[in-house]
Amino acid sequence: MLELSKHRPAPAYPVAVGDVHGCILSDGPLDLGLPEKAFLGETKQHMEQALTSHFLPTDRIVVEQNVLFFSLGNTNVLVETGVGSFRGFGEGAGQLVDNLRAAGIEPARIDAILCSHPHPDHVGGLCKADGQPTFPNASIYLAEHDFAYWTDEALLDSWAAAAIRVARATLLPLRERLIFIQDGEEFLPGVKAHFTPGHTAEHICFEVSSGNDSLFLLGDVAHHAVMSLESPLLNFAADLAPSTAARTRTRVFSTLADERTRVLGYHFPWPGLGHLARQGEGFRLVPDSIRW
């Protein structure tokens, strides 16, 4: 049998939004552990049923990390950075820089990095293990309150300690290059911020538009293409304000389904592109066909 190398880079998947061109890159799989620890308030039996009906394992929740790269004229933009050197979600994550380079994109060419929120799988890749910036020429766009909260020294002893440590290690060295954005702001041409609170207080969904075309980036409003969509009221363990997160999920998914907006799910099966359709009390992902 043919032996495939375990360390081959994942390919970049091309994506276009109107005149804006880019690709989706993987940071590798993210292991969220036992289903009953990742999603709360659901019976084990019901959760197993949901996972089994989608041919998914019932002993672990493993999701993807689909990082969007695109160019706006001379500005090269990356949305999220993966886990970097953080190993709290298994050994498979942390592949973004290898995959960027394999696609011909040097980290030094990145001008702008958009972060939906300061959790390890989104900002962990901003700095290397030695504290040096991974993307030496990039400005970082995020929300001010989330920055302040997730780098707060006083929370180093809290339940969120691991995430606080990563955010402090990767954001504080880059303090001079952070740009705080507001809800509703078009902070780059055709790129708008939608504050979508619950998972964090100022979690941001980004929307990229060009001409009549647009792409809505779900970030961590949806953690799982089955559990989050089919049961939007189900609590995700890492949601900071669970009932607000559930309300946000329902509102955002409803609007996207009704307006037939194309979405990118950061944690959906690779490459994460598709549409949301209503299904019973919840929603389902209708993935795009893969076209190279």
Q: Which residues, including other chains, have CB under 8 Å from residue 104's CB and lie 6 or more apart?
A: none
Of 121, 146, 202, 239, the one binding Zn ion (CB under 5 A) is: 121
* DSSP 8-state secondary structure symbol assigned to residue 133: B
Cβ-based nearer residue to Zn ion, 20 or 224: 224
Shortest distance (Å) from residue 220 CB to Zn ion: 4
DSSP string, 6-40: TTPPPPPEEEEETTEEEEEEE---EE---HHHHEE
Shortest distance (Å) from residue 238 CB to Zn ion: 8
239 binds Zn ion (CB under 5 A): no
Report d(CA 205, CA 255) in Å as an integer. 13
Cβ-based nearer residue to Zn ion, 207 or 220: 220
* DSSP H helices in 133-263: 144-150, 161-171, 227-230, 242-259
Shortest distance (Å) from residue 122 CB to Zn ion: 6
User: Residue 8: what are its φ and ψ, rounded to 5°?
Assistant: -70, 145
What x-and-dash track marks residues 184-223 binding Zn ion by CB under 5 A? ------------------------------------x---
Shortest distance (Å) from residue 65 CB to Zn ion: 7
Cβ-based nearer residue to Zn ion, 27 or 121: 121
Q: Is 176 helix (H, G, I), strand (E, B) or coil?
A: helix
Shortest distance (Å) from residue 30 CB to Zn ion: 7
Residues in the chain: 292
Report d(CA 86, CA 73) in Å as an integer. 33
Shortest distance (Å) from residue 199 CB to Zn ion: 8
Shortest distance (Å) from residue 107 CB to Zn ion: 21
Cβ-based nearer residue to Zn ion, 64 or 207: 64
Report d(CA 292, CA 290) in Å as an integer. 7
Q: Which amino acid is at 19?
A: D
Report d(CA 208, CA 193) in Å as an integer. 9
Residue list 216-235, contact with Zn ion (CB under 5 A): 220
Instruction: Kindly state the number of chain residues that form the binding site for Zn ion, as judged by CB under 5 A.
Output: 2
Report d(CA 218, CA 264) in Å as an integer. 6
Which part of the chain contacts Zn ion (CB under 5 A), choosing from 36-44, 54-62, 117-125, 178-186? 117-125
What x-and-dash track marks residues 77-116 binding Zn ion by CB under 5 A? ----------------------------------------
Report the interface residues with Zn ion, using CB under 5 A. 121, 220
